[in-house]
Homo-oligomer: A and B are copies of this chain.
Amino acid sequence: TANKKILVLPGDGIGPEVMREVRRIIEWMDRRRHVSFAMEEGQVGGAALEATGSPCPDETVERALGADAVLFGSVGGPRWDSLPFEKRPELGILRLRKELGLFANLRPALVMEPLVDASSLKPDVVRGLDLMIVRESTGGIYFGEPRGIETLPNGKRRGVDTEVYTEEEIARVARVAFDLAKKRSGRLTSVEKANVMQTGRLWRAVVSEIGKAEYPEVELSHMYADNCAMQLCARPKQFDVVLAGNLFGDLLSDLAAALTGSLGMLPSATLGAPDASGRRHALYEPIHGSAPDIAGKGIANPCAQMLSFAMLLRWSFGMEEDAAMIETAVEKVLAGGLRTADIMGPGTARVGTSVMGDAVLREL
């Protein structure tokens, strides 16, 4: 049904080349499964900056607001590293999160059995790992005011950022995490620094209140962020769903991803609030960056972008069956021994981006 409108934003670096493999899956779905999407392509990041002067042009924001889902590639690269704050490619993703109200960033960290040896951790520590970090993504220190660098009367500079969270901001992302925990193992770990930060105290209080009032069946525990970083490294399988604010979530979700040893495999979803009809804005992106060092060489791993599309099918269109089909196809290809360079191991065969794409299509 062509009323499923997807805005595709390939962005910079390896973004366009891994996105190409997703387009092939979409064409296949069109032919074989008779699902068709209304696809549009837009500009973001360094590419948008060079074309329009802004890393996130208004036109892109408007089209994203009009779409049912955004499929995002990646942004950034050394070419734009020395630009001032308001021109940096990263602003592309930050502005989209904010303008679309995408407050719940879902970051799965999953170890597929064929890749258990890719991790820097011992196989027993990560085998079967399957956790989900829910990160608040439109609030906290990323956007709080006042912020800036000023020069003091003594001529010295002083930098300021403000971490702000309201009760409503905490509550709505907590509900996303509780809902997920309910569907999964029934366990939720909420993370902050309530021993040092006031936002942390409020975070802990609000999450506890919601748990008691609305999710008595979910087993809620609280953990300080420093301890959580330790525990993720030492015994990651103790976690199922982990809830954190924007800044802690940024670090902890990247750490959780690193545990798997296969960043090129990990997707993410960022969701807004559902409206009365249940529609919500949503953006899907691989967690690997734009990887400028390997861009254009045809060796990037397209799996994370494909799995991001699978998340899109599941979360935005309720197409659980098709999502699972893509996930299974990817896992089977890996089990068959094909690997892109980033996840090579002994006894496997190295292939490039498009051969990996071919193989997934063949499995489908």
Contact = CB atoms under 8 A, between A and B. Distances in A.
A228 to B, nearest CB: 8
A160 B198 contact: yes
B120 A161 contact: no
A168 interface: yes
Contact of A125 (B88, B120, B230): B120
Nearest to A249: B226
Nearest to A165: B159
Interface string A293-317: 0000000000000000000000000
B229 A255 contact: yes
Interface residues of A, number: 62
A118 to B, nearest CB: 10
A198 B258 contact: no
A258 B120 CA distance: 13
A218 to B, nearest CB: 21
Contacts of A158: 164-167, 202
A230 B201 contact: no
A201 B83 CA distance: 12
Interface string A157-179: 11111111111100000000000
Q: List the number of copies, as a whole number.
A: 2
Contacts of A251: 225-226, 229, 248, 251
A54 B175 CA distance: 38
A340 interface: no
A302 to B, nearest CB: 21
Interface stretch (A7-15, A39-47, A61-69, A144-152): A144-152
A72 interface: no
A227 B144 CA distance: 23
Nearest to A143: B196
A121 interface: yes
A196 B142 contact: yes
Interface in A114-161: 120-122, 125, 141-142, 144, 147-149, 152, 156-161
Interface in A166-197: 166-168, 193, 195-197
Given A149-B201, A149-B202, A161-B200, 13 more contacts: A85-B201, A120-B121, A120-B125, A120-B234, A120-B235, A121-B122, A141-B163, A158-B166, A159-B197, A159-B200, A229-B258, A231-B258, A234-B258
